[in-house]
Each structure stands twice: as structure tokens, then as C-alpha cells.
Amino acid sequence: MFLKGKSAIVTGSTSGIGLALAKALAAEGAAVVINGFGDADAIEKERAGLAALSGAQALYDAADMTKPDEIEAMVRRAHDELGGPDIIINNAGIQHVAPVDQFPIDKWNAIIAINLTSAFHMMRAAVPFMRAKKWGRIISTASAHSKVASPNKSAYVAAKHGIDGLTQTVALETATDGITVNCISPGYVWTPLVENQIPDTMKARGLTREQVMNDVLLAAQPTKQFVTPEQVAAFAVFLCRDEAAQVTGANLSIDGGWTAA
């Protein structure tokens, strides 16, 4: 458990990729703060499970990722109650799909705020604590869309490209402080959110389940396999190891070959 004695915040971590990230860090002994929305009982069950897994504290914080003061308060709470934070993972994200001339302004603003600006506020608040310890790991969940575009996803693609640029900039600013700053760019990840879209797509397009998976969802991934949340989490855990101390400013793909072309 090489992260024993360290603490982490994972945003957007009450389910899906974020929860897998939190579990992977807890399995290595880290005290973890999870964040996000959902059923209170379900969240408490996950929080208790993380504490049991790590043998350390686990906290839940309901900070709204559109509100800078709540983000800063969550980082301060992690420092006051757990020490650190030594690791932050910017994972919170939302999506909306529409042509640019029909894209709702409120959806654009929300996607930029949650997918990009929240990462800036997390980094801004956490870096001073990391500098004081001369050790830190900042990881953001980007996307294959941080490298390539798709139609009707103007806000999401803009935000994820922004995560790439923010990652590189803060990596340079912290390069001599024992802090690494990287982003992980998955392709389509197999989560309940993706799985639940399949029946509607089958009905709307008159396709079989296999056709939806291979010809729609996995059309861009040459391996024709989904990335799993656990694979993303394992990548993040590696970036926290001492062996990854010289990996910084990187945008690391885990996309089944999507961006290889």
C-alpha cells in the first residue's frame, strides 16, 4: 500500500470512472475524499467501503463544481482533516450534444465550468499544499476528444482540449516542486451511463445491440473494445508512483487506438 499516509480528492466520484479511481487509490492506502451527486445512502455505503479498503479515513464532500468557493472549501477541508491533499484527480464532467448553432448557452457554460474551470480551481487551491510538502500528483480525466473532435460536441471538445493545455501549463509551473501534472484520455469507457444508452439507440436506429456497440459506440476504437473504469484507474495509480516522477505535462491515451490515426 504505497499511498499509506497520503490523501486524495477525486471529483465526480460517486459512480463510474471516478468511483473506480477512488477505490484504486484507497486500495493503495490513501485517505480519499469523494465528491459528486447521488443517493445519500448509496454514497455513504461507498464512503464506508473506501475507509474499510484503505484502513484510512474516507470523506464525502458535496462541493458543487460550478462554485469556486465550494471547491476551495473542499480542498481546505481535505487539508485540515486528512493532511495534504497529496493527490487530486479532476474527474467531474457532463455532456450535451447539439450543433453549434443550436447549442444552448446554459449548457455551454455548465460544461465549460464543470469539465474545465473546476480543474483550474482545484489546482489553484491544492498546489500550495503540495509545494509545502515538495510532493504532489495532479491528474485530470480528459478524453480522446482532447486530441480529436467529433460533430455536435463543441463545448465538450473545447473543454477537453482546455484540460490538455491547462495540464501542460501547470506541469511547467510546478516542474521543480516534486509535483507532476498529467491527464488521461480515455476513449469510450464501459459505464452504466453508456450501457443505459444502448436500448434507446437500438430503438431509434433499428439496430441490434451488437450493431450499436460496434458500429456506433465503438466506431472510432480500432480494438472494438470498451475501456474499463478499472483500466483508467490503474493508469492513474501508476502516475502516483515514484517510478512516474518524470512523467509530467503528458496527455496519455487509453482509447483502443482511436487517436493513433
Among the listed residues 217, 81, 103, the one whose alpha carbon sits nearest the alpha carbon of residue 158: 103
Mean pLDDT of the chain: 96
Q: Is residue 30 predicted with pLDDT exceeding 80?
A: yes
Q: What is the mean pLDDT of residues 180-194?
A: 93
Q: Which ranges of 95-178 does DSSP label H, i.e. alpha helix? A: 105-112, 118-133, 154-173
d(CA 50, CA 132): 27
200-257 pLDDT, tens digit per residue, is 889 888 999 999 999 988 999 999 999 999 999 999 999 999 999 999 999 999 999 9
Low-confidence winner among 182-186, 193-197, 242-246 (lowest mean pLDDT): 193-197
Considering only residues 97 and 64, tell me which one the structure prediction assigns the higher pLDDT: 64
Residue 192: its pLDDT value, please?
A: 82
pLDDT above 70 covers a percentage of the chain that reads: 100
pLDDT surpassing 90 at residue 48: yes
Cβ atoms within 10 Å, residue 134: 10
Residue 193 has pLDDT above 80, yes or no: no
Return the SS3 of 71: helix
Query: Strand 136-141 to strand 87-90: parallel, antiparallel, or no bridges (unpaired)?
Result: parallel
Catalytic residue among 60, 156, 226, 258: 156
User: Using alpha carbons only, what angle is made at residue 110 by residues 108 and 111, rounded to the nearest 5 degrees?
Assistant: 65
CA of residue 146 relative to chain centroid, distance: 13
pLDDT at 196 over 90: no
Among candidate residues 189, 177, 195, the one with its CA nearest the CA of residue 123: 177
| Whether pLDDT at 261 is above 80 | no
| β-sheet bridge partners, residue 184 | 141, 252
- pLDDT for 138-160, tens place per residue? 999 999 999 999 999 999 999 99
25 pLDDT above the threshold of 90: yes
Mean predicted confidence (pLDDT) in 169-182: 98
Bridge partners, residue 57, by sequence: none
**CA–CA distance from 255 to each of 145, 189, 221, 226 (Å)?**
10, 9, 7, 8
Residue 51 CA, distance from chain mean position: 20
**pLDDT, position 204:** 86
Q: Say whether 156 is catalytic.
A: yes
User: Hey, where are the domains in the chain?
Assistant: 7-189+228-260, 190-226
Range 75-102 average pLDDT: 96
Class of domain 7-189+228-260: alpha beta
State how far the Cα of 12 lies from the Cα of 258, in Å rounded to an integer: 25
Contacts of 198 (CB under 8 A, 6+ apart): 209, 212, 213, 217
